[in-house]
């Protein structure tokens, strides 16, 4: 049994940021540095060529530089391209030493608000360790950013690895990724996180992609992240939890976001002045029992530690206290009986599959995960048919958009995840 960290404004426990174009105004120094470096390199190589326009240099921002230079200068031999990159980086550090770098508008206010509320803050950037250190110290980002990661960080291959490592370090998956390029969104989704796209960043012309949120500037981030908290409080009001000792069971489709919503409901109860605890029932799942044959109730009994779940729901509570329990396969009648309020959580099949791959695929392996997902889906569908959530639960919530949970508008369904 555990309680979530106290938070008054935000539901998320961690926020991970891209660096260039999201926090740092890279356009203040990189095009000039790259142009100067290119002139030096071309002279050393004896090339009669003009440096590219600023747009070419800015398209590189957010990508690993080796890849970006290979795409921009395919005609150069490897040694020549390496020299060009080295001269551009030298010029970049010269301008940084002169104080040319700066933070984008709204960054200071957004980071300060997150840290003041106890949100863990990390950075994931396709840059070098030297560049990252210079940004952290030179721009004062170290006062807000607890954990920065880059391509030189130990064990890191790409930005997806950085996000994964930050989640492990922070000890939470209730997080969001903020960035300006498609690679930032890909890193977020590879870890099952929602992504907020910064439209004023350095995305290349025509670079369009889906994201859970889109903001015109960093000054709009705080209101967006406050929205989940406000919506959760609205859902709590609709749930009408009894004022006496109350037990709230939160369950739903696999990887729908039930655990995070349960955490948020417990926090909303505390904000409302009640003593409330959160119990994570993820560990009650028995993966080996998911393939048990038989009717839904017997199959659930094989796949879930019903005794532990029932004990968590039935344990005594002080008068006026509340306990929010997140439990898979919670539609089992043995669990519905001790619960005073029952919340069913759903999300689209596409989003649930993405979250499953992000949460477990990187550790479990795709083949094993697909097998488990098929078994979980079959059991969930059988349980839903036998015990319809629309009749047995007090509130149905759609968490397809992790930033904006909302009451479900139609009876839930559970299409297969794979």
- Is 227-407 the same fold as 14-26+101-216? yes
pLDDT of residue 226: 95
pLDDT in tens, the chain (418 residues): 334 444 578 999 999 999 999 999 998 888 999 999 999 999 999 998 888 898 899 888 888 889 989 999 999 999 999 999 999 999 988 998 888 889 999 999 999 999 999 999 999 999 999 999 999 998 999 999 999 999 999 999 999 999 999 999 999 999 999 999 999 999 999 999 999 999 877 776 666 778 999 999 999 999 999 999 999 999 999 999 999 999 999 999 999 999 999 999 999 999 999 999 999 999 999 988 888 888 889 999 999 999 999 999 999 999 999 999 999 999 999 999 999 999 999 999 999 989 998 888 766 777 778 888 888 888 999 999 999 999 999 999 999 999 999 998 754 444 444 4
In CATH, the number for domain 227-407 is 3.40.50.300
- The closest alpha carbon to 251, from 175, 355, 330, 324, belongs to 330
CB atoms within 10 A of CB 28: 15
In CATH, the number for domain 14-26+101-216 is 3.40.50.1000
pLDDT of residue 209: 79
The two tokens of residue 135 are: 């940004």
> Which residue, chain included where needed, has tokens 């100067």?
36
pLDDT of residue 384: 93
Nearest-angstrom CA–CA distance, 250 and 307 = 17
Mean pLDDT (the chain, rounded): 90
* Cβ burial 138-177 (10 Å sphere, 16+ → b, else e): ebebeebbebbbbbebeebebbbbbbbbbbeebebbbbbb
pLDDT of residue 15: 98
pLDDT of residue 362: 67
Residue 24, strand partner residues: 20, 103
The two tokens of residue 283 are: 């560990």
> For the chain, what are the domain ranges?
14-26+101-216, 30-97, 227-407
pLDDT tens digits for range 13-26: 999 999 999 999 99
pLDDT tens digits for range 223-275: 999 999 999 999 999 999 999 999 999 999 999 999 999 999 999 999 999 99
């Amino acid at each position: 049994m555990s309680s979530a960290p106290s938070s008054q404004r935000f539901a998320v426990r961690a926020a991970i940021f891209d660096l260039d174009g999201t926090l740092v105004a890279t356009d203040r120094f990189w095009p000039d540095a790259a142009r100067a470096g290119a002139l030096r390199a071309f002279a050393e190589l004896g090339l009669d060529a003009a440096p590219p326009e600023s747009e070419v240099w800015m398209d590189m921002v957010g990508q690993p530089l080796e890849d970006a230079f290979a795409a921009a200068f395919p005609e150069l031999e490897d040694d020549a391209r390496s020299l060009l990159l080295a001269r551009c980086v030298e010029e970049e550090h010269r301008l940084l030493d002169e104080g040319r770098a700066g933070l984008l508008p709204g960054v200071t206010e957004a980071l300060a608000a997150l840290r003041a509320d106890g949100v863990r803050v990390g950075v994931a950037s396709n840059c070098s360790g030297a560049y990252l250190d210079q940004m952290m110290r030179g721009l004062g980002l170290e006062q807000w950013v607890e954990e920065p990661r880059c391509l030189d960080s130990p064990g890191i291959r790409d930005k997806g690895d950085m996000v994964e490592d930050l989640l492990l370090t922070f000890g939470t998956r209730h997080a969001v990724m903020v960035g300006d390029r498609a690679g930032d969104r890909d890193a977020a989704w590879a870890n099952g996180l929602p992504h907020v796209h910064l439209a004023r960043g350095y995305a290349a012309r025509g670079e369009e992609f889906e994201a859970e949120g889109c903001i015109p500037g960093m000054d709009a981030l705080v209101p967006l992240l406050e929205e989940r908290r406000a919506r959760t409080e609205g859902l709590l009001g609709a749930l009408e939890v009894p004022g006496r000792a109350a037990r709230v069971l939160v369950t739903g489709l696999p990887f729908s976001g039930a655990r995070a919503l349960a955490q948020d409901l417990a926090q909303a109860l505390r904000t409302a002045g009640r003593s409330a605890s959160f119990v994570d029932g993820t560990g009650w799942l028995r993966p080996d029992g998911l393939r048990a044959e038989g009717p839904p109730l017997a199959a659930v009994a094989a796949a879930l530690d019903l005794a532990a779940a029932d004990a968590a729901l039935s344990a005594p509570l002080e008068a006026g206290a509340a306990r929010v329990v997140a439990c898979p396969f919670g539609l089992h009648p043995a669990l519905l009986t001790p619960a005073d309020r029952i919340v069913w959580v759903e999300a689209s099949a596409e989003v649930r599959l993405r979250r499953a791959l992000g949460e477990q695929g990187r550790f479990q392996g795709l083949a094993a995960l697909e097998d488990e997902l098929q078994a979980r889906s079959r059991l969930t569908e059988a349980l839903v048919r036998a015990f319809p959530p629309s009749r047995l639960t007090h509130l149905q919530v759609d968490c397809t958009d992790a930033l904006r949970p909302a009451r479900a508008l139609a009876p839930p369904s559970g299409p297969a995840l794979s």
